[in-house]
């Protein structure tokens, strides 16, 4: 248990660690345990592509001059020096750089004079829902992306650049930025698919035979959907303001594409809200299942008591030891020749009467209020 608490506490702590209040704004306070930055450059034009890993940050300036589009990707944020140099060479604003390092930003788009700065969160579906911060700078010559660690959803974009598929090689950095954002946005669909399947499974479970811990699992999913929503709502705003703001870095043509990307975020939000409502409905349905179940138990209990308590009373009655010989008033039945059969008959009559009463009440036969098995047919 304590092990778990530590884990959870750790999660909370991590989430706030970056908002340290003891440093002046604009300070780039790297987390020393984070992976060291690995800088990769992909520069391309309509004709050619060059791709290499870079260690001398200063050499980047040459790329910007020579190539129409340069994409600098930084994996890992664990070394201040590289980041500061990069900021200097590419003229990245200090406030933006600070946000790059503090990896718990809300998605947002910020306009600076020298560049647009976009923060998005890339989903990573590893058991429970988690996100990684991707920061993106867009200027007239380059796109710079920062990721917390290696491994991303950009491989397809890289392939398209290398192979010259689609329009990417003939367009500017704005289109590249769009392609990257779109890859991040599309990365949410598998996550949603996963949750969609979980909800479907849980709905089947509620309608059929709820397993142990269902409510706990629904609660955990609702928590994840909340986190998902917290990541995507501002993402939508970020894409929207990128699409609408007057910024010189994005051409009218790229805006058309961003509109497409915006549509996708809207679709994701629709799905999330949908799932949230379905999850809420699940709890409600489950609770009614529990109520019905309790009802059925009560019914069984009630039937048993109603049948056996009177019977037992009758039996007890004739187990009394009144002295039959003292008077003819004292339990004369005991001496009747057919006393026992008579009592048995009375008992049978009682049982039958009660069964008839229950029948009329509708307590026999299958429970009429039941969320159980045959349900599935109704739902088709």
The reply to whether 246 sits near its own copies by the rule CB under 8 A is no
Residue 54 makes contact with its own copies by CB under 8 A: no
Q: Is 230 helix (H, G, I), strand (E, B) or coil?
A: helix
Terminal C-alpha separation, the chain: 43
Q: Is 209 in the site for its own copies (CB under 8 A)?
A: yes
Residue selected from 222, 241, 255, 350 as contacting its own copies according to rule CB under 8 A: 222
Is 44 an interacting residue with respect to its own copies (CB under 8 A)?
no
* 46 forms part of the interface with its own copies (CB under 8 A): no
Instruction: Report if residue 172 touches its own copies, rule: CB under 8 A.
Output: no
| Residue 9 vs 61, nearer CB to its own copies | 9
Report how far residue 371's alpha carbon sits from residue 285's, in angstroms, rounded to the nearest whole number: 8
Interface pick for its own copies out of 322, 345, 346, 359 (rule CB under 8 A): 322
Inter-residue contact 177 to 119 (CB < 8 Å): no
The site map against its own copies for 72-101 (x = CB under 8 A) is: ---------------------x-x--xx--
Q: H-helix or E-strand containing 353? A: helix 339-361
Return the residue of 168, 240, 247, 364 that touches its own copies, per CB under 8 A.
Answer: 168
Provide the minimum distance between the beta carbon of 114 and its own copies in the complex, in angstroms, as a whole number. 12
Q: Of residues 289-308, which lie at the interface with its own copies (CB under 8 A)?
A: 289-295, 297-302, 304-306, 308
Q: Find the shortest distance in angstroms from Cβ 360 to its own copies.
A: 13
Give the whole-angstrom CA distance, residue 19 versus residue 167: 41
Is residue 3 close enough to count as binding its own copies by CB under 8 A? no
Contacts of residues 299-307 at CB distance under 8 Å and 24 or more positions apart, as own/partner, are 299/363, 299/367, 302/363, 303/358, 303/363, 306/354, 306/358, 307/351, 307/354
Q: Is 105 exposed, middle or buried (0-12, 13-18, 19+ CB in 10 A)?
A: middle
Collapsing DSSP states into helix, strand and coil, what is residue 337?
coil
Is the Cβ–Cβ distance between 158 and 179 less than 8 Å?
Answer: no
> What is the smallest separation between the CB atom of 39 and its own copies, expressed in angstroms?
25
Q: Assess 264 for contact with its own copies (CB under 8 A).
A: yes
- Whichever of 6 and 66 has its CB closer to its own copies, that residue is 6
Query: Where does this chain touch its own copies (CB under 8 A) — which range of 32-40, 51-59, 66-74, 224-232?
Result: 224-232
Q: Which helix (H) or strand (E) holds 138?
A: strand 128-138
CB-CB contact of 141 with 69 (8 Å)? yes
Residues 339-378 that bind its own copies (CB under 8 A): 339-341, 343, 362, 366-372, 374-376, 378
Q: How many residues at the interface with its own copies, by CB under 8 A?
A: 153
Closest CA to 209 of 369, 372, 378: 372
For its own copies, the closer CB: 56 or 378: 378
What six digits make up the tokens of 6? 């530590």
Asked whether position 1 contacts its own copies by CB under 8 A, the answer is yes
């Amino acid at each position: 248990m304590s092990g778990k608490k530590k884990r959870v506490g750790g999660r909370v702590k991590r989430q706030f660690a970056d908002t340290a209040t003891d440093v002046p704004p604009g300070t780039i306070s790297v987390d020393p345990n984070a992976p060291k930055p690995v800088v990769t450059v992909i520069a391309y034009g309509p004709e050619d592509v060059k791709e290499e890993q870079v260690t001398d940050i200063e050499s980047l300036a040459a790329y910007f001059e020579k190539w129409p589009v340069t994409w600098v990707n930084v994996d890992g944020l664990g070394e201040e020096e590289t980041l500061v140099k990069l900021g200097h060479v590419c003229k990245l604003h200090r406030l933006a750089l600070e946000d790059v390092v503090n990896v718990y930003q809300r998605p947002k788009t910020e306009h600076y004079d020298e560049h647009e700065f976009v923060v998005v969160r890339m989903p990573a579906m590893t058991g429970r829902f988690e996100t990684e911060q991707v920061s993106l700078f867009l200027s007239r010559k380059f796109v710079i992306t920062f990721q917390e660690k290696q491994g991303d959803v950009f491989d397809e974009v890289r392939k398209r650049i290398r192979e010259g598929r689609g329009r990417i090689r003939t367009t500017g950095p704005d289109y590249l930025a769009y392609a990257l954002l779109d890859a991040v946005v599309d990365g949410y669909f598998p996550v949603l698919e996963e949750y969609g399947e979980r909800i479907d499974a849980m709905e089947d479970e509620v309608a059929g035979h709820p397993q142990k811990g269902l409510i706990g699992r629904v609660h955990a999913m609702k928590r994840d959907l909340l986190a998902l929503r917290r990541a995507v709502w501002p993402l939508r705003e970020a894409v929207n303001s990128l699409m609408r703001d007057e910024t010189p870095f994005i051409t009218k043509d790229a805006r058309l594409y961003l509109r497409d990307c915006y549509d996708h975020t809207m679709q994701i939000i629709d799905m999330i809200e949908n799932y949230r409502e379905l999850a809420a409905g699940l709890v409600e349905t489950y609770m009614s299942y529990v109520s019905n179940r309790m009802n059925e138990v009560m019914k069984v209990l009630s039937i048993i008591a109603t049948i056996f308590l009177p019977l037992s009373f009758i039996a007890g009655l004739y187990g009394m030891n009144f002295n039959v010989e003292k008077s003819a008033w004292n339990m004369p039945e005991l001496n009747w020749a057919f006393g026992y059969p008579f009592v048995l008959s009375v008992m049978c009559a009682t049982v039958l009467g009660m069964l008839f009463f229950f029948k009329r009440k509708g307590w026999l036969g299958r429970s009429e209020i039941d969320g159980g098995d045959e349900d599935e047919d109704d739902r088709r």
